[in-house]
A and B are shown apart, each in its own frame.
Chain A
Amino acid sequence: MSGEVERDVSGEGDEAPGGPKRPAKGPRAARGPGAGLASAVALLVLLSMVAVWTRC
């Protein structure tokens, strides 16, 4: 398309003089699915132990 302005998506042009900036994070970097899988498996193991222990 004519007249199209190329966007700078790399972010290389806005570095501070003192070096590269730290990545802008939101209020919290979301935990990945690995953390969810680990906690779900740990909970499953604990619940199974409780079920066996209480002889359900």
Chain B
Amino acid sequence: MDQQGDVLKVVEAGMLAGVRPTWTVAGCSLAIGFGMVPGEGAIAWLGHPLAMVLCCGFAVFEWLHARDAQASALSALGFARSGLAAAAALAAVATMAGVENVEVGPLEMASGGGGAALIATLRGTIRDRVKELAHDAASAWVARLEDGGFVLFATLLFVFPLLPLLVLIVFAIAAAIGFAFAMVADRAQRRVCGACGHRARAEAVRCPSCQRGLEPKAWLQPPPRMSAHVEALFAEPPKKESAT
């Protein structure tokens, strides 16, 4: 493969860390430890048996953590996830550069690390939206989708490096369009607090700005389709089957 394709492969290996940072580092650690990849320089310690065990332990922890709705809801971990993804991306970029024999510069590091941090932030916001709509029950399904995406991305990376980039571009466009629609819908549903003028969400019980109580409009006024359905249910008594 040409040099540009190898560089793309190196950068994409870094971006892979945005989905599952510890899995990426564990993969690098095992590859270096078992001698499949020349682990030299700053990443040589990843090939140490203790590092291999620790990396695999962290990977199992992340696998469990992604399925735990309560644990993954801690705010501090949101920032930690993006930072962890960026750090893991640097390890992945350095490891893949050893495989492809590519000289790694700041541009590769910045692209891989920045891409991983952005992917980690984006998947965090998508998880938030999914949990808002489908509550905690969706966490396990989101985690399964992410696992599948990681494995597919990692496989395609070696087989056809251009495809993961195209898939990511399509994914980013779709996410941008989806979030733009969500933003418009969110603004349309907000209502003005009578005391301070803050635009609070429809389901807010208190104004987040002045703490004054708000009438929860969303609870008392369900969507027209739903209220019409409920009224229809109460208005008409259940039809009895006519005796033949």
Shortest beta-carbon distance, B117 to chain A, in Å?
A: 9
Contact A12 B73 (CB under 8 A): no
Q: Are A43 and B128 in contact (CB under 8 A)?
A: no
| B interface size (C-beta, 8 A) | 50
B118-134 contacts to A (CB < 8 Å): 118-119, 121-122, 124-126, 128-129, 131-132
| Alpha-carbon distance between A31 and B186 when the two chains are bound, in angstroms | 12
Contact A30:B128 (CB < 8 A) given known A11-B213, A43-B122, A56-B8: yes
The reply on A37 being an interface residue by CB < 8 A is: yes
Find chain B residues with CB under 8 A from A17 CB.
none
Within 100-158 of B, Cβ neighbours of A (below 8 Å) are at: 107, 111, 114-115, 118-119, 121-122, 124-126, 128-129, 131-132
Contact of A31 with B206 in the complex, beta carbons under 8 Å: no
With a CB–CB cut-off of 8 A, which chain A residues contact B121? 35, 39
Task: Give bound CA distance, A53 to B7, whole Å.
Answer: 9
- On chain A, the residues within 8 Å of B213 by CB distance are 9-12
Q: A46-B111, A46-B114 are in contact. List 5 more A-B contacts (CB 8 A).
A: A9-B220, A20-B211, A43-B115, A50-B111, A50-B115
A binding-site residues for B, Cβ under 8 Å = 9-12, 20-23, 26-37, 39-44, 46-51, 53-56
* Chain B interface residues (CB < 8 Å from chain A): 4-5, 7-8, 11, 70, 73-75, 78, 107, 111, 114-115, 118-119, 121-122, 124-126, 128-129, 131-132, 162, 165, 168-169, 172-173, 175-176, 178-180, 182-183, 186, 205-206, 208, 211-216, 219-220
A-B contact pairs, 28 of them (CB 8 A): A12-B212, A20-B212, A21-B211, A23-B206, A26-B73, A28-B75, A29-B75, A33-B179, A33-B186, A36-B129, A36-B179, A37-B179, A39-B122, A40-B172, A41-B176, A42-B118, A43-B172, A43-B175, A44-B169, A50-B115, A51-B165, A51-B169, A53-B7, A53-B107, A53-B111, A54-B5, A54-B11, A56-B165
